[in-house]
Amino acid sequence: MPLHDTAHAFVPYPDVPVASAPTGTLADLRFAAKDLFDVAGYPTGGGSPFVLAMSGIKTTTAPAVQALLDAGARFVGKTVTDELAFSMNGNNAHFGAPVNGAAPERITGGSSSGSAAAVSSGLCDFALGSDTGGSVRAPANHCALYGIRPTHGRISLQGVLDLAPSLDTCGWFARDVQTFARVGAVLLGDDTAPLPARVRLLKPTDVWALVEAPVVDALAEALARVEALAGTATPTQIALESWDVMYWNFRYVQGREAWLTDGPMIERFAPPLGPGVAERFAWSRDVTDAQITAARAFRARFRAHLGALLGHDGVLVMPTMPDIAPLRSESEAGLESYRNRATTMLCSAGLSGFPQISLPLATRHGAPLGLSLLGPAGSDRSLIALAGQL
């Protein structure tokens, strides 16, 4: 980790040399990895003292990390994650709250909080995170970063701690789109469903209706830039049945899988869980078989619905989050309310498994505000290229 970690972004593990290729497409770049990813010579703590105590020193490196090392990128440390990756605020009750390098008085967002803090504070050039319900997209919005939730299953999660496996993805952050694209070339390979040269831009009015008028106004110039490049966006609606139905079906899938992942450890050791995290696991424990069966069926219907809407050339343009990052002084109740609003906005990519990239194109009250592009499954690098054209 950097000697002077002013952002409190890194887990203070003893430094262990991690070999990287002497040459390669990323040889001039430094990177960090969220402390869910195994790196040989380090433990993997998952933001939990109990998981850290049981980890031991890893002898193998997660394939996603190894691919970056093989491309010449230099590893500089493991970053703080929200506890068990089950939060969106960036405040770990055991390891602290990393500092938002773009708006220090505001939260970083989580659960990839340390990775976003490290990149936004200039402590590395890019960093790996994970995104289950918004854990890359939220910090990207808050910290003026490019961040992606890729097509589900496109990047290996072998050697990475699970939260909800059918929703978990490996994403990353960068301050500039050129670096972001270079990392994407290594991690993603070629698109399986590249977008055509002329995309069909869609404006999901039901997503835009979830944000207040000042946020719409703050994003107007960024939206105009996208439309100048890709053509006027056609109004559409994407929610299936209602946003309330979308939200709860996402929560049921995430909750059941999170409990299957971490519930045995929680029941055996009764570890002290931080605010918000404890309540979410308690709720997750009680998701019923009927709820999860219905939620999985709903997810399949939504994926088909959104896939038909996008076809091979459709791209949604929409706000990433409800607003700029809340202040660090915000109450726990206020943060939970913001998280629930954000989950509603973010669940479309999670339920569909389609890629979404957040672009740091706007500000409000001097704080970053992101605009997102969401495309068909397998169009990840095309979305990054579209972002590059902006």
Give pLDDT < 50 ranges for the chain: none
Question: Does residue 248 belong to any structural domain of this protein?
Answer: no
229 lies in the same domain as 302: yes
CATH number where 304 lies = 3.90.1300.10
Question: Does residue 145 belong to any structural domain of this protein?
Answer: yes
Domain end (from 188, 214, 234): 188
| Residue/partner pairs of 282-290 with CB below 8 Å, 24 or more apart | 283/255, 284/254, 284/255, 284/256, 284/258, 284/259, 285/259, 287/252, 287/255, 287/256, 287/259
375 lies in the same domain as 297: yes
Give the domain range for residue 329. 200-242+288-389
Over residues 182-199, the pLDDT tens digits come to: 999 999 999 999 999 999
129 lies in the same domain as 56: yes
Question: Which residue out of 20, 48, 111, 121 is catalytically annotated?
Answer: 111
Judge whether 34 counts as a catalytic residue. yes
For residue 24, count other CB atoms closer than 10 A to its CB: 16
101 lies in the same domain as 182: yes
124 lies in the same domain as 229: no
44 lies in the same domain as 182: yes
Question: Which residue out of 120, 130, 135, 348 is catalytically annotated?
Answer: 135
Question: Does residue 8 belong to any structural domain of this protein?
Answer: no
Judge whether 111 counts as a catalytic residue. yes
Question: Does residue 93 belong to any structural domain of this protein?
Answer: yes
86 lies in the same domain as 153: yes
pLDDT of residue 3: 61
103 lies in the same domain as 222: no
Judge whether 113 counts as a catalytic residue. no
CA-to-CA distance for 267 and 247, rounded, in angstroms? 27
Asked if 367 and 102 touch (Cβ cutoff 8 Å), the reply is yes
Asked if 112 and 129 touch (Cβ cutoff 8 Å), the reply is yes
- How are strands ordered across the β-sheet holding 146-149? 74-79, 30-34, 126-131, 169-174, 146-149, 356-364, 367-374, 314-319, 200-204, 234-236
64 lies in the same domain as 170: yes
Number of structural domains (the chain) is 2
pLDDT of residue 1: 66
211 lies in the same domain as 107: no
User: DSSP letter at 96?
Assistant: B
Question: Which residue out of 34, 112, 115, 284 is catalytically annotated?
Answer: 34
204 lies in the same domain as 183: no
Question: Does residue 53 belong to any structural domain of this protein?
Answer: yes
343 lies in the same domain as 373: yes
